[in-house]
Amino acid sequence: MSPSPDQVLLQLEGVAKSYVMGAVTVPALKPSTFAVRSGEFLMVLGPSGSGKTTLLNLVGGIDTPTAGRLLFRGEDLAQMADAELTSYRRYRVGFVFQFFNLVPTLTALENVQLVADLVDEPLDALETLDTVGLGDRANHFPSELSGGEQQRVAIARAMVKRPALLLADEPTGNLDFETGIRVLTVLTDLSRQSGTTTIVVTHNSVLAGIADRVLRMRSGEIVEVEEQPHPISPDEVRW
């Protein structure tokens, strides 16, 4: 069943990305048609090189497709003026990367505040740190935090601007399993409480059960989209 238009946050229509490397063309993403639904927790699974990051970067407007169209609330990203695309990235999209990307010379709170200051109606930076369980670490520098704590600061930083779309590329890829589960719990809680549409990329298929839908990729193609009417909570994930 295809979702009704008002349930669609982002529509991909034949979206593709190729890289030309001399005489060789690498089809990182083959033409893909897919609707991201408002409020869903979507997980993108696939082996290394299958096109997961390419897909996420296209969706987040930090990369442009070589074919097809991306419609955010019906508006074609490619038709947006530069300023509008910048504002899409700044106001609508929150990014969480595998390597936390925190500013080392700023405290946890300052890292979050930096992003809050970019937008008109941010959440309170300290409250957001509190939400990810780090209210008491606000004045710590990244080097004084564990990997999982740094990643939770990165999530707070992405959430503080109240994005319509939260994108996380291997947010647990650099963490041990237990810490990864803790980070995913923060992500699922935040997304379900605030209704933020969330896309998490991972190559770890044991995590699939926590998502509303799972999109599987192989060799640059979306090969399967699976509905999960009863997602489990991250602490129920078993190896």
Ligand X SMILES: Nc1ncnc2c1ncn2[C@@H]1O[C@H](COP(=O)(O)OP(=O)(O)OP(=O)(O)O)[C@@H](O)[C@H]1O
Tokens of 114: 């930096």
Phi/psi region, residue 205 (left: phi>0; alpha: psi -120 to 50; beta: rest), is alpha
Select 90 or 203, whichever has its Cβ closest to ligand X: 203
Q: How far is the CB of 17 from ligand X (least distance, A)?
A: 8
216 binds ligand X (CB under 6 A): no
Q: Kindly state whether residue 19 participates in binding ligand X, applying the rule CB under 6 A.
A: yes
The secondary structure of residue 207, as a DSSP letter, is G
Binding mask 47-66 for Mg ion (x = CB under 5 A): ------x-------------
DSSP 83: H
The answer to the question of residue 71 lying near ligand X (CB under 6 A) is: no
Rounded to a whole number of angstroms, the minimum distance from the CB of residue 169 to Mg ion is: 6
Nearer to ligand X, 28 or 115 (CB): 28
Who's near 86: CB < 8 A, 6+ residues apart? Answer: none
Q: Where are the beta strands (DSSP E) in 91-212?
A: 93-96, 165-169, 197-202
Q: Which of 12, 16, 35, 53 binds ligand X (CB under 6 A)?
A: 53
The whole-angstrom separation of Cα 198 and Cα 98 is: 16
53 vs 197 by CB, closer to Mg ion: 53
Among 16, 28, 36, 184, binds ligand X (CB under 6 A): 28
Q: Which of 3, 49, 122, 147 binds ligand X (CB under 6 A)?
A: 49
Report the partner that residue 140 touches, choosing among Mg ion, ligand X, none (CB closer than 5 to 8 A by kind): none
Terminal C-alpha separation, the chain: 32
By CB under 6 A, which span of 41-49, 139-147, 150-158, 174-182 interacts with ligand X? 41-49
Instruction: Report whether 186 contacts 194 (CB < 8 A).
Output: no
Q: What is the CA radius of gyration of the chain?
A: 17
Q: Return all residues near 51 (Cβ < 8 A) that are at least 6 apart.
A: 17, 28, 29, 30, 217, 219, 220, 221
Q: Which is nearer to ligand X, 18 or 233 (CB)?
A: 18
Q: Which residues bind Mg ion (CB under 5 A)?
A: 53
